[in-house]
Amino acid sequence: MSSSSSSALLSSHLRHLQPPPPLRLFPAISLSRILLPRTRNPTRTLRIRSSAAMAAAAAAANAATSVKKKEKSSLLVFDSEEDLSVALAKYTAELSGRFADERGAFSVVVSGGSLIKSLRKLVEGPYAESVEWGKWHVFWVDERVVPKDHPDSNYKLAYDAFLSKVPIPPGHVYAINDSLPAEGAADDYETCLKQLVKTGTVQLSAATGFPKFDLMLLGMGPDGHIASLFPGHPLLQEKERWITFIKDSPKPPSDRITFTFPVINSSANIALVATGAGKAGVVHQVFGDEHTTSELLPVQMVALEDGELTWFADKAAASKVQDKANL
């Protein structure tokens, strides 16, 4: 994939970066800690954990991984989106430190949507200074096939709110080739990924043979879609391709490229972020008690082969689950 145009754009912007803001501490978040095993789906455990526990969330999750690698899905509920964003920054920074130490690189995949706003604390102190940004490699789980300076571009969204504020090397930012139509852009992105797997920048899952990203930071639509994988769409069944394309996206714009489920499910870590009451129905469908015979939503098809799935929800998004649990 060509990242030269994005690299040039980034270089010019990075030259104008302001000095990092002074270090400041975030107030502690107060939440209750509750463990709620669910029997409806024995492969899932609902854990509503305190923000105090968030300090060691990644480490605790790893410890659990060694016990039940395929059977974990944690739901962290926060009093507010503000608290969620603080915890998400801490979680991401901890994983960044771990992978940077262990393998000298951190491969991070982001979605578009409100997720990007929820990453805002990561580009503030203390993380703006302490994270090893030089080791980050940034990818998009899906992208709209529009020019990079188009208001619909996920690259632009992330660049404006996040990437322009931290010193990630421009050559480590893998935007799509926006001069190609959807099919070509998907092929191009897949070719680029294959190259990065060869060089070891992105790891390969021994279990699946698909790329294994260190962290995917994903939003979810109110219909339960993730990436550009929408309910009922044939792309949900893709088993071979790493990257594919869609030309009939129900969420505009219509033309997009997207990671496929085999890649998503090969991740080492996924943070699924759901904020606002519009997501409450889906969160309830995933974590509630009711048996349902209906087809799985895309977000319910996230089942990591050998990794850790952590849901970050604010109270509004978890409201229907919380009602059930008498929280």
Ligand X SMILES: O=C(O)[C@H](O)[C@@H](O)[C@H](O)[C@H](O)COP(=O)(O)O
Contacts with 87 (C-beta within 8 Å, 6 or more apart), sequence order: 29, 51, 54, 57, 76, 78, 312
Least Å from the CB of residue 247 to ligand X? 15
Contact between 114 and ligand X per CB under 6 A: yes
What's the full length of the chain, in residues?
327
d(CA 91, CA 57): 7
d(CA 111, CA 323): 29
The contact pattern for ligand X, residues 144-183, with x = CB under 6 A and - = no contact, is x---------x-----------------------------
Residue pointed to by tokens 């129900």: 250
- Indicate which single residue of 112, 170, 298, 307 sits in contact with ligand X (rule: CB under 6 A): 112
Contact between 310 and ligand X per CB under 6 A: no
d(CA 140, CA 155): 8
Contact between 227 and ligand X per CB under 6 A: yes
d(CA 108, CA 97): 13
Tell me which amino acid residue 172 is: H
d(CA 295, CA 302): 14
Instruction: Considering only the stretches 105-113, 167-175, 185-193, 289-297, report the one whose residues sit in contact with ligand X under the rule CB under 6 A.
Output: 105-113
Nearer to ligand X, 154 or 269 (CB): 154
- Indicate which single residue of 115, 163, 215, 286 sits in contact with ligand X (rule: CB under 6 A): 115
Residue 258: Cβ-neighbour burial (10 angstroms; 0-12, 13-18, 19+):
buried
What sign has the CA pseudo-torsion 124, 127, 128, 129? Answer: positive
Nearer to ligand X, 168 or 217 (CB): 217
Contact between 298 and ligand X per CB under 6 A: no
Give the residue closest to ligand X by C-beta.
113
Least Å from the CB of residue 114 to ligand X? 3
Contact between 142 and ligand X per CB under 6 A: yes
Instruction: Considering only the stretches 5-13, 42-50, 166-174, 224-232, report the one whose residues sit in contact with ligand X under the rule CB under 6 A.
Output: 224-232
Instruction: Considering only the stretches 8-16, 20-28, 53-61, 215-223, report the one whose residues sit in contact with ligand X under the rule CB under 6 A.
Output: 215-223
Residue pointed to by tokens 């939503």: 297
Least Å from the CB of residue 160 to ligand X? 15
Judged by the rule CB under 6 A, the positions of this chain that interact with ligand X are 111-115, 142, 144, 154, 219-221, 225-227, 251
